[in-house]
Structure 1
Amino acid sequence: MTTLAARAIAPFRPLPTPTDPGRLGAMQDARQRSGIVWLVAGVASAHLAGLQWPALAYGMVGWVWIALIGLVAVAMLTAGFAQLALLARAEPRRIPTATTAGALAVVGVLLAPAAGFLWIAFGMVHVLLPVAVGALGVALLALDPSMRAGMPRPAAGTLIGTVSAALLLGLGVLDAFVLLPMSLAPDVPLPAILAQLRAAGEDGGMWTPLAWAGMWLIAIALLGMGLLRNRRSQRGALGTLLAAGVVALFALPIVEFSIGMGVADTLATQGGMSTAFPAISLLAALLAALAAGLLIGARQR
């Protein structure tokens, strides 16, 4: 148990500053990457917490979900700021880099309460992100893999990451088609809800979750093939694909908006989110932490 605890805290334990310039540069580069990755994941998780304001309609339970997601975000932000502090202390010339990264993270956290508005205002980003991820996969497929010819293909990491990301997409589709309507109209059976939506002509938004899942599924498949062909590390492949799945879930409130409005208009109910969305967001925050740890570990190895 002591050995496991020591290994768990090893990445956060301050190391003696090497006198050799090469070793110092390598250690500082690793600290800088680690700090930035933790901060990005922490800010993303803070925005997941910011998307939970509709859950406050559920009373104290909503606050509990926000607090749990917030704790995950705080843990990653603490790790990131700690790494940047060590970076600046060991090498003062990197203070501007550490300060800039820290300031951007603070701004990101301060914007988290407005996450819902921001994701609606920049809705086109949700269309561009899977395109960008797919383009990255195509770029990796086009690169010459001979430079990493001695490395094994990350078959296990790619398979687990692709399946995990696909399951997250499936969870989002389930939330949109089943859990959201049942949460908004708990006294009406699901088949009756869907029938009334069709009769009222309010089922036009049903294609949106399928289009979202289809775009991301293609993008993740291309990314997985690119990582596999270029013989990236197991940790790197798994972490990258998990991160892609987490990013995809940020679009879920937008994807479900038309369905939620249709149910509210047809059955004269109040709008809102499904009772499962906070749990899905907590899962996404935890997976963001796992993806960050895998990506940091992959670069260190």
Structure 2
Amino acid sequence: MILADGGLCCIDEFDKMSAEHQALLEAMEQQCVSVAKAGLVASLSARTSILAAANPVGGHYNRAKTVNENLKMSAALLSRFDLVFILLDKPDELLDKRLSEHIMSLHAGYGERSPAVKKPRIAKASKIVETISMSVKECSLVSRLRLDPKKDADFVPLPGALIRKYIAYVGTYVFPRMSKPAAEILQKFYLQLRDRSTSGDGTPITARQLESLVRLAQARARVELREETTAQDAKDAVEIMKELLYDKYVDEHGFVDFGRSGGMSQQKEAKRF
């Protein structure tokens, strides 16, 4: 705040601060910070505006509680702010679609923003990868990764040194762009998650999940040294996410319960009621 004297001080994750809250009372009221160290007493100017962002307890804002209870913040500190805005993330089909389209458009030009690095010649390697990709039938990722004791009896794992070199090459030179078919598949799955995420006591489905899907799809394309993410890469990423959500959210009766990711399950909530 002293360094921002005469300007704007932006604080993120304001709810994660513990003892520092009390130190802000004087600075926000008197616009100065008193320091007493080694016998020296000084008053430093902190004439700055404060823009702070905080998350509610548990990741969800509870309308039945006050703002202080939701943020676990003292009333004295909250009164120092002139304006307090409550931003609620409610599933909106139109707004979610526009946001997902914006994120996908950013990743569509990812390869153009990648650093211009001279790529070594790997014509043989890329042809081998393309041949393998063409020979693999379009089926589930689980069935493709599962080893068959009869067909894969002579399967030999690649050496660790070769794997490390391969990953190092991919991380340095391969930056795939998001194709339109892949973007549509990821966007459709994200909108379905947002539409079904109606629980108020679980992990919220936000744009971070869409970013996770994009990273998984791009990683799938980078493994095969491709410059563009295909629809099959997007389907593989969706399948991985579905498997994760099934293990995380499905209850003992086979129903999807988004509250199981955090807070209380439906059974505990009914017992509490």
Would you tell me which structure has more strand in proportion to its own residues? 2
Q: Rg: which structure is higher?
A: 2
Relative contact order higher in (CA < 8 Å, ≥ 6 apart) = 1
Structure with bigger helix share is: 1
